[in-house]
Chain A
Amino acid sequence: MTDRRKRRKLGLVGAAVVAAAVLVVAVPTAGGARQASCGDVVLNENSWVGSTADTYVLKYVLEKKVGCKVKVTNITEGQPGFQAMADGKIDVVMEDWQNLPSFPQYTKAKKVVNFGSLGITGVIGWYIPRYLLKQYPQFKTWKGLKGKESVFKSPESGSQGMFLGGDPSYVQKDRALIAGLGLNLKHVVAGAEPAQVARWTQLYKQRKPVLFYWYDPQYLNATYDLVRIQLPKRFKGCQDDEKKGGDPKKYACEYPSYPLDKVVSGKFATSGSPAVKVVKRFKWTSADQNFVANLIAGKKMSKDKAAAVWVKQHAKQVNAWVK
């Protein structure tokens, strides 16, 4: 009998404690008020470091100067990223390299809106380390490679020279280029960017020859001294989408340059948020981006801190975006 009474007592105490807890917790949440001039903005960080730099600088500006609440997501680029924008899950992607075939479908439906240039022009091409030019000055242009391909040979390419291909998500036509230019090179797939970087940096550190797909702006270009090989100039009707097939001669020209664009979701573009005009005005240079990217990936600074460093040095430029 006493047992049961004790239990009931304990039960009452328990109930009281729970009730108190609910009260305590409920009170402070009810009184919270937030400065709600801008609201939530979702930025998507793509997997390369340049995009990280764009995204976190914008995040810093929106948070500190505009008072937005910013969330950064890491949706993979390509189809998932665009579908996310169409569904209104992502507001802004800062650096689009225009490599999605279904892009027009999204813009036509006004689900994705192009917000113009980021101020940076992306360059894609064939790169070699500068130290190679000492021994082989002719490698400045693709013609110099002819007959000298075996300089780049590796265990997997046999007697041919090795060409290291790029990340699967990047625009590429190197197989067709090699065939079209009649070079004795073997296209070796290196995989995702970190894997490709592992391959060529390891050769670079040993001062060995290496020829690979690469691009700019890229923060590693500050650490490694690379040269872009001059490929044949672009001619009329020159093709870039290797998947279309056909005569490789039609591909035998350099990659076009890519003015990198900011793209936003249709929902965000028409939201009237003060963040919209900041995104529209955001513009900087390759040097700016590489500076921030190098702080993050080279110096291992936290992304937010790196953004703060750049913003503090460029107060005037940033103020023009937010005014």
Chain B
Amino acid sequence: MTTVTETPIAVPVVAHRPWWRGKIVQSGAIVAGMWIAYRGWGGDHPWPNGLVWNQLTFKLDDFQAWLIEKRLTGGGGLVFSIFDGFRIMCDHLVAWFFDALTWLTWLGTAVAGTLLAWRFGGLRAGGWALGAFAAFAVTGLWLESTETLALMLTAVGLSLVIGVPLGIAAGRSRRFGRWLTPFLDAAQIVPAFAYLMPVVLFFSIGYAAAVVATMIYAIPPCIRITALGIRRVPVNTVEAAASMGATRRQMLGKVQLPLSRRMLLLGLNQTILFALSMVVIAGLIGGGGLGAVVNSGLFSNPALAILAGAVIVVMAMALDRITESVAERTDPARRHLDAPAKRRLRLQSLGVAGVITATVVVAKLLGVSGDFPDYSGVRQRAVTAQEWLLGQIQTVLDYVQDPTSFVFQITEPVGNFILTELLLPLQGFLVEAPWFTTLGGLTLLALVVSGLRPAVTTLLMLGLIGFLGVWALAMDTLSQVLVATLIAVLIGIGLGVWAAESRTVSRALRPVNDVLQTLPQLVYIIPFIYLMPVSIVPGIVAGVLYAFPVVSRLVERGIKDVAPDAVEAAGAFGATRRQVLVKVKVPLAGDAIMLGVNQGIIMVLAVVVIGGLVGSGGLGYEVAQGLVRGQFGQGVIASVAILALGITLDRVTQGSRSKRKESME
């Protein structure tokens, strides 16, 4: 829907208006009208059956059957051959990577990884690498971790190969960028569960399918951020280069790419984090590794699932920090090497190569295995580190699962309160209000807040939802998305403002964000259900925890980017720090906050299926069921409805920002 921007925000010119034309008053009036209609005719007017296209489900199911038939009989021809080629390449790439890591032996892999990170990224990077390998070993999940590592490196690499050129193209051509945006939106909002099935039919099961599913989710941020980086190269620099006769290629290679270096790296980091957040879903279709451990652990050994989830987080953070350090160290703008420094580096490289080779040779001679040894086989009674860790996690889980515990006495009433006072009334309102007032009301809201075109889109999207026959389910999901977004935005704005004012908070938030973005949601939400055993609430919590870090990051950036002269001017007038914040910075960062709200909605929608798996029902459950029961039509329809909801919410909340957004694109 929107791109993350850092552009300093222009001071808005506030036109004078009579109070009754204010957006807030008008929106309030619309909602009040909808409420009155709900009180009057609640439950009397569900979406009429005459306006539903019932046949679609069957048509989609037929399509799937046809696809399976083609696949089974080998009658797919060229299309399948192309996919097969890609599949075989991917399978081999990952398998080769994994084999190489195993072949090096665990010792060789750890030494090579650590030393390489140290050589190119410095001490901190080396430390992160060492820490990550230690985590793989201590948890007893060495092989699983290296398998996931091989899978993720391949997926990230291929994502960059596709994403960066597309991003550059989108950055240089506004038209191409606009053309691409809807696809990126769809890739980010449509739940992965919905496209797993087609992915499986085209790419079978295994590494290739896992890589493709991961790429679909990880490429969009890569394209978006790259495009943004290219676009934000100062116009005068580009013009200066052009006036000196630079060709298009020279312009790209010597001006645009080097100057957008930092953004490109941000793109790399985000690609890594997005990819790592797909490990568990990839595990469902043959990704293996840690994802498989989490999936089977959820049912048989939750402590193990949590442990594997933690390893995924460690891997994500290490990859993120290492790439960041490497990028900083190799930044040509900061790097001025003299002759002795160059020599030192060369010696370092040689030393690193030597030590790695020597280690591998010795390890091979000693017969060190590819897997980190599990001593429990040797000493039956010895408690391995993994068992100890699992024991600790289990203790916490046992406490959480005990309904007589002190915590439960607090969490249960809180959960019940949120459900009965907040969620159920809103759900009743949206699901039972006459369909035409909801449709009309939301369209009017879009008109008031964002203008005519967004209103038309809203009308079409809501109409589509009804037409697909999932109106009630979608309204159910909408009520949950609204509540989750509201909470996420409140938390996000609070933390974002605080982080913008305090460096300590900003630093402390970063690992929290990383954890929440990459820790598989089911891993922490299922224990959470024991604390708040009511439907919907755990799903809301999953949405809030996934969305608020993004909101807070955008708000923080927005406030930090408020033009310094405005802040200085206020200071010159004798404003206190608090006044500066409340009266200058926050109002001027209004657009960034709106963007935060908007992104928050997208993130909440991205976990709707997870919500469905922990008791939220609605569209999320339909999508999940569509996959596992082979109900293709059901899954696709629910996914399209989620996408339509996402577009609707985006249009209603995008406000006047759209105008400025267009000027940036």
Contact = CB atoms under 8 A, between A and B. Distances in A.
Interface stretch (B29-37, B310-318, B607-615): B607-615
A73 B534 contact: no
B552 interface: no
Contacts of B61: 101
B420 A18 contact: no
Interface string B173-208: 000000000000000000000001100110011100
Given A75-B205, A193-B299, 16 more contacts: A49-B299, A74-B296, A77-B628, A79-B200, A80-B196, A102-B65, A111-B72, A156-B424, A169-B628, A191-B614, A191-B621, A194-B302, A202-B401, A205-B402, A205-B404, A297-B299
B624 A168 contact: yes
A82 B297 CA distance: 22
B104 to A, nearest CB: 10
A203 B408 CA distance: 12
A195 B529 contact: yes
B286 interface: yes
B641 interface: no
B21 interface: no
Contacts of B621: 168, 189, 191
Given A18-B357, A168-B624, A156 B286 contact: no
B264 to A, nearest CB: 33
Given A20-B361, A24-B365, A205-B403, A78 B627 contact: yes
B73 interface: yes
A181 interface: no
Instruction: Kindly name the residue among A20, A48, A89 whose own CB sees the greatest number of chain B CB atoms within 10 A.
Output: A89
20 contacts: A47-B296, A47-B299, A78-B629, A78-B630, A79-B200, A79-B632, A80-B196, A83-B200, A102-B630, A168-B612, A168-B621, A189-B616, A195-B614, A198-B527, A198-B529, A198-B533, A201-B401, A202-B530, A243-B631, A300-B303
Contacts of B283: 74
Instruction: Kindly name the residue among B286, B365, B525 whose own CB sees the greatest number of chain A CB atoms within 10 A.
Output: B286
A37 interface: no
Contacts of B286: 73, 75, 80, 84, 89
Interface of A: 7, 10, 14, 17-18, 20-21, 24-25, 28, 45, 47-49, 52, 73-80, 82-84, 86-87, 89-90, 99-102, 105-106, 109, 111, 154-156, 168-169, 188-195, 198-199, 201-203, 205-206, 243, 296-297, 300, 303
A76 B284 contact: yes
A75 B357 contact: no
Given A105-B72, A156-B424, A205-B403, A296 B354 contact: no
A318 to B, nearest CB: 22
B68 interface: yes
B403 A206 contact: yes
B629 A86 contact: no
B654 interface: no
A300 B422 CA distance: 39
Interface string B506-517: 000000000000
Chain B interface size, as a band, is 35 or more
Contacts of B358: 17
Interface in B247-294: 283-286, 288, 292
Interface string B340-384: 000000100010011001101100110000000000000000000
Instruction: Kindly name the residue among A17, A77, A189 whose own CB sees the greatest number of chain B CB atoms within 10 A.
Output: A189
B173 to A, nearest CB: 38
Given A84-B286, A86-B72, A168 B205 contact: no
A78 B72 CA distance: 16
Contacts of A10: 350
Contacts of A303: 300
B212 to A, nearest CB: 13
A123 to B, nearest CB: 19
Given A28-B364, A89-B206, A168-B613, A296 B300 contact: yes
